[in-house]
């Protein structure tokens, strides 16, 4: 039986990253658990101190229920090394599509995400493969790829 899991991303500004990644992945801001009007009401019920609560969003979920939920956990420590885990967003289409068509799709998605606050770091080397990908950073500098 598969294990259910939630992906947790440490960050400085959970609301900013939750909104960025919801738009990037086609996710939605996660609704609070049943019986709670807000996530802060839920957190209060867990005993989280008021000074640790923030009014912004910090969780996103797949509206179809297929992908993992993602929690953006606020931490004070800045990220100082390369990510050990990153998203690969597949935007190019099928391998049977021409490389030029796939390149256009990847570039279009990279530009869309740049418009949402990401940074394009450049095309990734393809080393002679029939492949095209663009490296990017989210609004807090976390690396991800569009391919």
The torsion angles phi and psi of 24, rounded to 5 degrees, stand at -65, -40
Domain with 133, as residue range(s), is 87-146
Shared-domain flag, residues 59 and 101: no
pLDDT at 128: 60
Residue 130 domain flag? yes
Residues 92 and 116 in one domain: yes
Three-state SS across 13-68? CHHHHHHHHHHHHCCEECCCCCCCCCHHHHHHHHCCCHHHCCCCCCEEECCCCCCC
pLDDT tens track, the chain, 147 positions: 677 889 999 999 999 999 999 999 999 999 999 999 988 999 899 888 888 888 889 999 999 999 999 999 988 887 777 777 888 999 999 989 998 999 999 999 999 999 999 999 988 876 567 788 999 999 999 999 999
- Confidence at residue 1, expressed as pLDDT on a 0 to 100 scale: 67
| CATH number of the domain to which 138 belongs | 3.10.180.10
**∠ CA 80-81-86 to the nearest 5 degrees?**
120
My answer on whether 26 and 54 are in the same domain is: yes
- The H or E element spanning position 69 is strand 69-74
Residues 58, 102, single domain; the answer is no
Q: So what's the pLDDT on residue 127?
A: 57
Same domain membership, residue 58 and residue 34: yes
Q: Which pTM value belongs to this model?
A: 0.85
Tokens found for residue 51: 């000074």
20 with 60, same domain: the answer is yes
| Residue recorded with tokens 């990644």 | 21
- pLDDT of res. 108: 96
Query: According to the model, what pLDDT value does residue 48 have?
Result: 86
Q: Total domain count for the chain?
A: 2
What Rg, from alpha-carbon coordinates, does the chain have?
17
Q: Which residue spans within 75-133 are E strands per DSSP?
A: 87-89, 119-123
């Amino acid at each position: 039986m598969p294990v259910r899991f939630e992906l947790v991303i440490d960050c400085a500004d959970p609301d900013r990253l939750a909104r960025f990644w919801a738009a990037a992945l086609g996710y939605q801001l996660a609704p609070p658990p049943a019986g709670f009007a807000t996530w802060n009401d839920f957190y209060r019920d867990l005993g989280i101190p008021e000074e640790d609560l923030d009014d912004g969003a910090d969780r996103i979920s797949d509206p179809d229920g297929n992908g993992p939920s993602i929690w953006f956990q606020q931490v004070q420590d800045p990220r100082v090394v390369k990510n050990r885990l990153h998203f690969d967003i597949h935007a190019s289409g099928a391998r049977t599509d021409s490389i030029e068509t796939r390149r256009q799709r990847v570039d279009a998605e990279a530009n869309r995400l740049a418009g949402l606050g990401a940074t394009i770091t450049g095309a990734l080397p393809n080393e002679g493969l029939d492949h095209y990908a663009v490296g990017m950073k989210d609004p807090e500098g976390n690396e991800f790829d569009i391919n």
